[in-house]
């Protein structure tokens, strides 16, 4: 992944494989739904026991997870590789365990997730660039 900030044109260029990762995640969830459904249909002839109830509940949960993830990807995520600074509403910094990641929230309601962890130098560089461009930063409460 590479992130380039162009000061002349005020464009941020992000080169990532986020779209490919989302496709792989969706395909694996759909495979789990098919496998769980096959398990449910295959064991249905033997009677409805505890294993079938577990399979049915996991199938229902997987279906809701796939619907939620696909709707989030379609309606709330963008795959633009070049984002103008004027389109960025704020930068949200997330902390997951000991790693800091971030995403750009755009003014049209969508967001561009950046799948890179920030080390202390990268965090300082991102803060400086956001201040230079006039982009608001919203850190998590527990940073």
Range of the domain at 60: 19-76
Structural domain total, the chain:
2
Domain boundary (29, 56, 76) is at 76
Burial pattern 34-51, b for ≥16 Cβ within 10 A else e, equals: eebeebbeeeeeeeeeee
Q: What are phi and psi of 31, to 5 degrees?
A: -60, -40
Q: Are residues 39 and 8 in the same domain?
A: no
Q: Are residues 105 and 60 in the same domain?
A: no
Least Cα distance to 133 among 10, 9, 17 occurs for 10
Question: What CATH code is carried by the domain that includes residue 125?
Answer: 2.30.29.30
**pLDDT value of position 143:** 46
**pLDDT value of position 25:** 82
> pTM above 0.95?
no
Query: For the chain, where are the E strands, in sequence order?
Result: 2-6, 11-15, 82-84, 88-96, 99-106, 111-118, 136-139
* Average pLDDT, consecutive stretches of 10 residues, N- to C-terminus, the chain (143 residues): 76 78 82 80 71 80 86 83 86 80 86 76 79 79 49
* Distance between start and end Cα atoms, the chain: 24
User: 51 Cβ partners below 8 Å, 6+ apart?
Assistant: 43
Residue 35's Cβ-side half-sphere holds a number of Cα atoms within 13 Å equal to 8
The radius of gyration computed from the CA coordinates of the chain, to the nearest angstrom, equals 20
Domain boundary (76, 106, 125) is at 76
Q: Are residues 120 and 100 in the same domain?
A: yes
Q: Are residues 12 and 23 in the same domain?
A: no
Task: Name the DSSP letter for residue 103.
Answer: E
Domain boundary (76, 98, 122) is at 76
């Amino acid at each position: 992944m590479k992130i380039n900030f162009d000061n002349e044109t005020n464009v941020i260029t992000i080169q990532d494989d986020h779209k490919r990762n989302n496709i792989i995640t969706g395909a694996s969830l759909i495979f789990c739904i098919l496998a769980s459904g096959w398990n449910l249909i295959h064991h249905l002839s033997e009677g409805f026991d505890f294993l079938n109830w577990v399979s049915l509940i996991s199938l229902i949960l997987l279906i809701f997870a796939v619907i939620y993830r696909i709707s989030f990807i379609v309606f709330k995520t963008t795959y633009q590789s070049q984002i103008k600074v004027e389109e960025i509403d704020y930068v949200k910094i997330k902390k997951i365990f000991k790693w800091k990641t971030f995403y750009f929230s755009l003014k049209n309601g969508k967001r561009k997730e950046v799948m890179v962890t920030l080390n202390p130098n990268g965090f300082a560089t991102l803060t400086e660039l956001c201040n230079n461009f006039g982009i608001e930063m919203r850190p998590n409460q527990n940073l």
